[in-house]
Structure 1
Amino acid sequence: MAKQNNTEKQYLFDNPKNVKRLLYVVYAICIVLVLLDFVIHRHIYHSWESLFGFYAIYGFVGCVVLVLVAKWMRTFLMRDEDYYDRIELKQNKTQNETQEKKAGGEHVDD
């Protein structure tokens, strides 16, 4: 049997089984937290805080709103793919022009 020469490093989440395990752990934690809603007494300030699963729903809605606001902000904050390349080209061009001015503005062949 020939041994495979696997020089590429394997990370924890490269294996799909590990990703599934992590998701199961997160789901289990979510279920435990929802079940604790029956047991834990909270000091509420508003009447809607006494609703079952209020904090889970509140957190989920908050995350969805954050994603939607970020997508909306992307429309006017996003730059073109070559934005930074254009800036670099402009800077190089101005540097070359200033160097030419310092050197007399002409290229002299010997």
Structure 2
Amino acid sequence: MDNEKQYFFDKPKNIQLILYLLYACCGVLVVLDFVIHRHVYHSWENLPIFYPIYGFVGCVILVLIASWMRTFLMRPEDYYGPVEAPDNSKIEIIDVSDGHAKEANNNNEGDRNVDA
């Protein structure tokens, strides 16, 4: 377990760093919204922080529409057929605890064993 490879997102310090960078980018974009001149087509686009509000409202509407669509697009759990219990009649349990492996006879008709 000590030799497991550590990935970038395994460390909480790196996750905090990514979050701080994301917050900084959001802050810079809000500040730039007041500085950069935009060529607008509609008067409401001149409102401060119009585009972040517009994006947030769009995402909320998207989630609400997806929740509504789920009611008629959702399929029942057994849509592709009933879930059957596995057929354990063909499985042979081999006791190898004594050090001598017994040969398993799983070559039933219809089986596709390669090394038979």
TM interval, short-chain normalised? 0.5 to 0.7
Structure 1: which 5+ residue stretches go unaligned?
Answer: 90-110
Q: TM-score scaled by structure 2? A: 0.61
Amino-acid identity (%): 68
RMSD of aligned Cα (Å):
2.3
Q: TM-score scaled by structure 1? A: 0.63
Residues 35-80 of structure 1: per-residue CA shift (max 9 Å, x gap): 0012100011111100000011111111111111111111111122
Change (3 A) 1:63 1:6: same
Q: Say whether 1:49 aligns with 2:45.
A: yes
More helix by share: 1
Task: Name the residue aligned to 2:36.
Answer: 40
Q: Secondary structure at the match of 2:64?
A: helix
Task: Name the residue aligned to 1:96.
Answer: none
Structure 2: which 5+ residue stretches go unaligned?
Answer: 85-116
Q: Say whether 1:71 aligns with 2:64.
A: no
Q: How many residues align?
A: 84
